[in-house]
Structure formats: C-alpha cells, structure tokens
Amino acid sequence: MKKFLILIGLLTTASAWAGDKEVLQERLAKIDGFYARFSQDVKTADKQPVQQGKGDLWVTRPYYFNWSMTEPDETSIISDGKNMWVYTPAVEQVSVMSLKKMVDNRLMLLITDSHNPIWNTYTVTRKQDSFTLKPTDGSNQDYVISVLPTGMISNFTIIEEDGQRSFYDLSKQTLGKVPLDKFKFTPPAGVTIDDQR
C-alpha cells in the first residue's frame, strides 16, 4: 500500500510539473473539432485601427479547417487535410498549395495537431488560460492563444514582426467533429487557379 501511495504521489507531481507547452497541447487535444463565429480587430503597433472583420471557422483535427471571412471582404482558406485552398471571389482567383509546405497560417497547424513537428520550433509561456507562442526558427509571427481547461479556444492574437496585432474573438461555439464535406473545395467555373503544389 505504501509503495502504491508513493507511486501515486510521483505521478501527481509529474503532471503538476508539465511544461506550459505540454499543458497547451493537452488542452487543444481535448476537442476533436469545433465551429465558431469570429470577429477580427487589427491594430498597428501603436494601436491605430487597421481593419475590423467577421467570419466563420470550422475545424476538425487533424489538419482540416475552413476559415471563411465574410466582412469586410470575402476570403476563404480551406484545408482538406492535404492541400490548402485560398479563394478570393472578388479577384476570381484561387491559390492551392501543399499543406506540408505551408509557411503562412502556422497557427492553424498548431491548433489542429498537437503532435506536429512545428511545435518544436516554438517556446510557450503560460499565464493562467493565456499561452504565448514565440518561434525559435526566425519566423516573423508570435501568437497568443486563450484556451480554457476544457479545450475550448476563446480568442487568439497574431502578432507580426512590425508589432501589428490581429485579435480574433470566438463566439457561438459548437464543439465536436465537423463533417469532412465542409473542408472540400471545388473551384467555381471561370476562376483562375494558381497551383503552387
């Protein structure tokens, strides 16, 4: 019995000493997917307004996401698990690239897979439910993401090298896997396809 209690004590201590990165990864892994409405607020380093926007976000782990901006301009960024499609109806063009080679939208790779090797290129510091991710490989974006112990993401911020901050507040969340047909993209007729694969 005494050995058992010592073992329990050691296991409890080990989990209490989990690093900030591990805590964030564990929280994100609790949810298979979700839908959320988002509002965007972009400001310069000296807090001057740049843009406000709205849209919808669907995620199913791993690697499936549909990020649809509805205001001020329509843009969709859709990952079918292998390819990422960026569609802007106003210019009648869609770009497609391999998800493995993706350098932009790293935040979506981090959110949709707690085991992606890209995690190794970030240091993570935690302040309650807020986690700051700083790249160690020269990438020019920092992230701050607020994730509740349940795994629900409440907001995140993308910080550019010049200090510009894009804040996204998530609301009307529905937790659970999103059907995979939400992540299929078929280019509309007449749209120019820029295939970068």
pLDDT digits (tens, 9 = 90+) for 148-194: 999 999 999 999 999 999 999 999 999 999 999 999 999 999 999 99
DSSP assignment, residue 176? S
For the sheet containing 64-71, what is the strand order? 122-127, 130-135, 141-147, 153-160, 165-175, 33-43, 49-60, 64-71, 75-80, 83-88, 93-98, 192-195
Question: So what's the pLDDT on residue 17?
Answer: 52
In a domain, 13, yes or no: no
Once rounded to an integer, what is the mean pLDDT over residues 29-46?
Answer: 96
In a domain, 1, yes or no: no
Question: So what's the pLDDT on residue 100?
Answer: 77
Q: How many residues does the chain have?
A: 197
Q: Establish whether the linkage from the previous residue to 179 is cis, with ω within 30° of 0.
A: no
In a domain, 75, yes or no: yes
Mean pLDDT of the chain: 89
Q: CB neighbours of 15 closer than 8 A, spacing ≥ 6? A: none
Local structure of 180: helix, strand or coil: helix
Q: Which tokens hold the place of 85?
A: 């499609």
In a domain, 114, yes or no: yes
Instruction: Please give, one letter per residue, the 3-state secondary structure of 39-65.
Output: EEEEECCCCCEEEEEEEEEEEECCCEE
In a domain, 109, yes or no: yes
Asked whether the predicted pLDDT for residue 4 surpasses 50, the reply is no
The rounded distance, in Å, linking the Cα atoms of 144 and 131 is 6
| Residue-number span of the structural domain to which 158 is assigned | 19-195
In a domain, 93, yes or no: yes
In a domain, 40, yes or no: yes
Confidence of residue 18 (pLDDT cuts 50, 70, 90): low
The rounded distance, in Å, linking the Cα atoms of 155 and 76 is 19
Name the residue with higher pLDDT: 124 or 9: 124
Percent of the chain with pLDDT over 70: 89
Q: CB neighbours of 188 closer than 8 A, spacing ≥ 6? A: none
CATH of the domain at 56: 2.50.20.10
The rounded distance, in Å, linking the Cα atoms of 2 and 137 is 47
Residue with tokens 């079918």: 80
Look at the chain and report how many structural domains it folds into: 1
Supply the pTM of this predicted model.
0.86
Confidence of residue 128 (pLDDT cuts 50, 70, 90): very high
In a domain, 102, yes or no: yes
The terminus-to-terminus CA distance of the chain in angstroms comes to 60
Question: So what's the pLDDT on residue 104?
Answer: 66
Asked whether the predicted pLDDT for residue 143 surpasses 60, the reply is yes
Q: Are strands 130-135 and 141-147 parallel, antiparallel or unpaired?
A: antiparallel
